[in-house]
Chains A and B, each alone.
Chain A
Amino acid sequence: MILVYDYGIGNLRSISSALERVGGRVRVGTGPDALHEADKVVFPGVGSFSAAMRALSDPVVIHALLECRKRHVPFLGICLGMQIMFESSEESPGVTGLGWFSGTALRLRAGTVPHMGWSRVYPAGETPIVNSPTYFYFAHSYCLLDAPGVPAAGVCEHGTRFVAAIRLRNIWGVQFHPEKSGYAGARLLEEFVRC
């Protein structure tokens, strides 16, 4: 069962439906019990950094997340859901992220912000998220320029080069929205569902 973690904000219908369309069994939930029962966890890309961390910073939730990681439960963080795996974000100064990886999400410096639309993701690292440059749908104002503690699995460019995807064993993060990226996104979600 895939747990789509509910921060209590925004709509989780698109991501839940997208996972179900590729064969995932999905439950939308929150809290330590839901995490204990989860085979996989998705951090969706809705809301703000501070709102998401408000939902996750309860010590019992933090503990349950660590238990999941000990059990090698696969994680997929989407957009904001990837950024909270890092230490902090310019979006919410003073708010601490999960800190699984070192780094801070910064505001994009580009001609147009938000970065909205379809951009090519280029494969990177030893376990690239795609095999060849592939269009995915982005909608974000903040990004990781680099992620020193975790291998980039995909990079993208909008004004500047930024981390489009990370992958460290069973922890995946993507800055784009696979649930909104048509066929390419569905294929990626299918890979996660099957991993």
Chain B
Amino acid sequence: MPAKRIIPCLDVKDGRVVKGVSFENLRDAGDPVELAARYSNEGADEIAYLDISASVENRRTLLQIVERTADVIGIPFSVGGGVVDVKSFRDLLLAGADKVVINTAAVRSPHIIADAAAQFGSQCVVVAIDSRRTPRGFRVHTHGGTVPTELCPVSWAQEAVRLGAGEILLTSMDTDGWSKGYDIELTALVADSVDVPVIASGGAGALEHFRAVFERTRAEAALAASVFHYGVFTIGQVKRYLAAEGIEVRLGE
């Protein structure tokens, strides 16, 4: 098994990082590339950008950020948000992204997964799944979590992998934002049912949350945003903690 990955996620709007950032020594804390470089130097294993811009014009701004990132960052990075078709994949990959994250459009048109995997390879196709508990069990939600579907996250993950997804980014809307830990039940269910890496997302608030998700599920990576942005702890602290707990992580850069 590869080392467990720690992935900071940056929400990008109109070319700027949103959510408060409490870093010192950054000339411009709102510049995604500068923040990504900072995280990379701290030992991040990968960077995730989520574009939450509303308009098409700002797509060009995003692509410029992707290009600048590819120029300066020596670790992999993925880009999601606003990926609607195979052309979105091509634009982002040609700009230098390593992976493209697709969510709502994949639910609406699953063939995009197959088309993108055939053209660019499974390793750059990440399918994001937002799940929430309902009276009838876990259900996939789309459109940033606002629209419920009848899909079960386990069967949707399996279908996405069958179509060619190389990775599943699994966010629990039940735990997201509460800083009380990852959704172990959901993550274990999905990670046990697919044979591609699963990235757990939603709920990190303390060091032991990272340990729990790696010890109790087969997730290969954990994504977090606010704990890093607000400086609750650094990526280096998370990785040193995990290493001390006997979990394999990449250290020593």
Count how many chain A residues have C-beta atoms less than 8 Å from C-beta atoms of the other chain: 35
B236 nearest CB across to chain A (Å): 13
- CB <8 Å contact, A138 and B74: no
Q: How far is the CA of A113 from the CA of B161 in the complex (A)?
A: 10
Q: Is B31 an interface residue (CB 8 A)?
A: no
Determine the chain A residues whose CB is within 8 A of the CB of B3 once the complex forms: 117-120, 135
Interface stretch (choices A9-17, A32-40, A146-154) = A9-17
Identify the closest chain A residue to B220 (Cβ).
A117
Q: How far is the CA of A57 from the CA of B1 in the complex (A)?
A: 36
Q: How far is the CA of A10 from the CA of B122 in the complex (A)?
A: 13
Q: How far is the CA of A179 from the CA of B77 in the complex (A)?
A: 12
Q: Is A31 an interface residue (CB 8 A)?
A: no
Q: Is B72 an interface residue (CB 8 A)?
A: yes
Identify the closest chain B residue to A157 (Cβ).
B1
The number of residue pairs between A and B whose CB atoms lie closer than 8 Å in the complex comes to: 94
Q: How far is the CA of A18 from the CA of B74 in the complex (A)?
A: 7
Q: How far is the CA of A11 from the CA of B91 in the complex (A)?
A: 10
Q: Is the interface of B mostly helix, strand, loop or mixed?
A: loop
Q: How far is the CA of A170 from the CA of B123 in the complex (A)?
A: 29
Q: Which B1-41 residues have C-beta < 8 A from chain A?
A: 1-3, 5, 40
A62 nearest CB across to chain B (Å): 25
B184 nearest CB across to chain A (Å): 19
- CB <8 Å contact, B197 and A181: no
- Known contacts A13-B71, A182-B74, A182-B75; A113/B195 CB under 8 A: yes
Determine the chain B residues whose CB is within 8 A of the CB of A117 once the complex forms: 2-3, 5, 45, 197, 220-221
Q: Is B120 an interface residue (CB 8 A)?
A: yes
Mark A residues whose CB is within 8 Å of B.
Answer: 10-11, 13-14, 17-18, 21, 47-48, 111-120, 135, 137-141, 158, 177, 179-186
Which 6 residue pairs spanning A and B have beta carbons closest together?
A117-B2, A13-B96, A139-B123, A135-B250, A13-B70, A118-B250
